[in-house]
């Protein structure tokens, strides 16, 4: 039944890139020395962790969409290209915002670009995202957002009416948090060289509390809180593109989290770190925290807040909602003693009514996020690889 063709014909090639990768890796461990059957699963797992923690490297010759997906390729690009190129102690912290000491003041500074497609979607538009995204990156660092910049890259032919709607949304989003957009820039590119409208916002805020939030400061016993139902933004964008022919009553969760963060900080001084769960979702944030703090995070799937519509769409599409982007949810890691207080504080105001404790920090296995599934099994919850959905924000 099975005919192996052993003769190699003229068209037969070998995949040089694969042979190179294998050679490069075998320099690190010698297989030939060991009989395959004598290698245990434990040996392999140790070897594998070694490979995982190796220095990041960019293997590709060109940028692919994977570099923008927020998963492992993005991490490699940031570490091997940008961190390597711009290296300094402030950048090395790799937080959502840089913390700057200027005289007596501690300032937070951040930037974010928005390329979402479509520009308008249920629950918001690119303008809401551009303001809320930057406000949230400041807020999760414990900063009170003050001022924003706005840079527009517009494509020739873009309707003025659309731009006006976007600007109106930005104005109300800024007013809602009590901040001002104080500087900006406009560029127009030829038709076909952009896609309607791209926006960059940078933001500055002041940290006037004695907090020291860091993804590296989490300890065993801490509680993991998520501030509301997850995945609504990502699923909304996916459905808004109309390619899936699925309809559901879902809107983006885009929201400013500055007031919610204030409530957490008032109620729970022992908050270790907060991150907004954007690209790559809650799973990505948890993996970043587990790696930075050298701890394990155990998540209980049945405790993760999620709307039925989002769960149903994820099920149909075969995606894990923990990998789907939110634009108005944060993950907070809080010392056990103030976990309940933090939860109550989050739930007591806007954008927090679906908050829940979804898991705990543990010591072992360090750097790993585990998920206790609804079915009662346990598995690893890893970074997303190969996000099929570019331009979510």
Query: Which residues in the 225-244 window bind another protein by CB under 8 A?
Result: 243-244
In the complex, what is the shortest distance from the CB of residue 10 to another protein, in angstroms, rounded to a whole number?
9
- In the list 145, 362, 392, 393, the residue contacting another protein (rule: CB under 8 A) is 362
- Site stretch for another protein (CB under 8 A), options 134-142, 228-236, 260-268, 316-324: 316-324
Query: Which residues in the 243-302 window bind another protein by CB under 8 A?
Result: 243-245, 296, 298-300
Closer to another protein by Cβ: residue 30 or 186: 30
Interface with another protein, residue 370, by CB under 8 A: yes
The angle subtended at Cα 267 by Cα 265 and Cα 273, nearest 5°, is: 40
- In the list 100, 182, 189, 385, the residue contacting another protein (rule: CB under 8 A) is 385
CA 288: distance to chain centroid?
9
CA 344: distance to chain centroid?
25
- In the list 252, 360, 392, 393, the residue contacting another protein (rule: CB under 8 A) is 360
Interface with another protein, residue 78, by CB under 8 A: no
Q: Residue 322 burial by CB count (10 A; 0-12/13-18/19+): exposed, middle or buried?
A: buried
Q: Which residue has the tokens 């949230």?
A: 136
Interface with another protein, residue 80, by CB under 8 A: no
- In the list 24, 156, 208, 247, the residue contacting another protein (rule: CB under 8 A) is 24
What is the DSSP secondary-structure string of 73-128? HHHHHIIIIIIHHH--HHHHT--SSEEEEETTEEEEEEEEEE--SSSEETTEEHHH
Backbone angles phi, psi at 150, to 5 degrees: -140, 120
- In the list 14, 30, 53, 88, the residue contacting another protein (rule: CB under 8 A) is 14
Interface with another protein, residue 102, by CB under 8 A: no
Interface with another protein, residue 195, by CB under 8 A: no
Q: Measure Cα distances from 317 to 92, 185, 235, 281, 307 in Å.
A: 37, 39, 10, 16, 15
- Site stretch for another protein (CB under 8 A), options 84-92, 177-185, 274-282, 309-317: 309-317
C-alpha to C-alpha distance for 181 and 378, rounded to whole angstroms? 47
Interface with another protein, residue 22, by CB under 8 A: yes
In the complex, what is the shortest distance from the CB of residue 137 to another protein, in angstroms, rounded to a whole number?
26
In the complex, what is the shortest distance from the CB of residue 73 to another protein, in angstroms, rounded to a whole number?
7
> Which tokens go with 222?
């801490």
First to last CA, the chain: 52
Query: Which residues in the 26-55 window bind another protein by CB under 8 A?
Result: 26, 28-29, 31, 36, 39, 41-42, 44-45, 47-48, 51-52
Query: Which residues in the 339-358 window bind another protein by CB under 8 A?
Result: 357-358
Interface with another protein, residue 219, by CB under 8 A: no
Closer to another protein by Cβ: residue 42 or 55: 42
- In the list 165, 171, 209, 372, the residue contacting another protein (rule: CB under 8 A) is 372
- In the list 59, 187, 191, 193, the residue contacting another protein (rule: CB under 8 A) is 59
Backbone angles phi, psi at 203, to 5 degrees: -140, 150
242: left (phi over 0), alpha (psi -120 to 50) or beta: left
C-alpha to C-alpha distance for 207 and 138, rounded to whole angstroms? 9
In the complex, what is the shortest distance from the CB of residue 296 to another protein, in angstroms, rounded to a whole number?
6
C-alpha to C-alpha distance for 281 and 331, rounded to whole angstroms? 10
Closer to another protein by Cβ: residue 221 or 354: 221
Closer to another protein by Cβ: residue 62 or 87: 62
Size of the site for another protein (CB under 8 A): 85
Q: Is the dihedral of CA 319, 356, 128, 180 positive or negative?
A: negative
Interface with another protein, residue 221, by CB under 8 A: yes
- Site stretch for another protein (CB under 8 A), options 134-142, 250-258, 341-349, 378-386: 378-386
Backbone angles phi, psi at 342, to 5 degrees: -65, -45
Interface with another protein, residue 19, by CB under 8 A: yes
CB 127 within 8 A of CB 167: yes
């Amino acid at each position: 039944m099975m005919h192996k063709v052993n003769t190699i014909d003229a068209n037969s090639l070998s995949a040089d890139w694969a042979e190179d990768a294998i050679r490069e890796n075998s320099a690190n461990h010698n297989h030939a020395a060991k009989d395959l059957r004598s290698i245990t699963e434990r040996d392999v797992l140790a070897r594998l962790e070694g490979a995982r923690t190796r220095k990041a490297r960019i293997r590709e010759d060109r940028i692919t969409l994977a570099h923008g997906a927020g998963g492992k390729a993005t991490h490699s690009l940031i570490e091997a290209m940008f961190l390597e190129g711009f290296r300094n102690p402030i950048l090395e912290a790799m937080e959502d915002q840089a913390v700057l000491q200027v005289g007596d003041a501690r300032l937070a500074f951040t930037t974010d670009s928005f390329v979402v497609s479509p520009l308008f979607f249920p629950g918001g538009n690119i303008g809401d995202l551009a303001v809320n995204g930057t406000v949230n990156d400041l807020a999760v660092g414990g900063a009170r957002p003050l001022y924003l910049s706005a840079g527009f890259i517009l494509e020739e032919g873009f309707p003025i009416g659309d731009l006006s709607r976007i600007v109106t949304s930005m104005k109300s989003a800024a007013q809602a948090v009590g901040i001002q957009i104080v500087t900006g820039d406009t560029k127009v590119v030829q038709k076909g060289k952009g896609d309607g409208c791209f926006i960059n916002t940078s933001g500055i805020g002041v940290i006037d509390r004695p907090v020291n939030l860091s993804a590296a400061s989490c300890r065993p016993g801490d509680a993991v809180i998520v501030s509301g139902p997850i995945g609504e933004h990502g699923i909304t964008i996916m459905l808004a593109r109309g390619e899936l022919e699925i309809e559901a009553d879902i809107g983006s969760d885009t929201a400013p989290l500055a007031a919610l963060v204030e409530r957490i900080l008032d109620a729970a001084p022992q908050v270790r770190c907060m991150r907004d769960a954007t690209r790559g979702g809650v799973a990505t944030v948890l993996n970043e925290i587990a790696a930075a703090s050298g701890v394990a995070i155990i998540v209980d799937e049945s405790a993760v807040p999620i709307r039925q519509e989002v769960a149903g769409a994820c099920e149909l599409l075969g995606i894990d909602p923990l990998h789907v982007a939110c634009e108005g949810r944060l993950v907070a890691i809080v010392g056990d003693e103030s976990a309940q207080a933090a939860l109550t504080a989050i739930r007591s105001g806007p954008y927090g009514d679906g908050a829940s404790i979804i898991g705990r920090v543990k010591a072992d296995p360090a750097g790993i996020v585990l998920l206790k599934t609804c079915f009662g099994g346990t598995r690893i919850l890893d970074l997303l690889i190969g996000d099929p959905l570019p331009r979510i924000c």
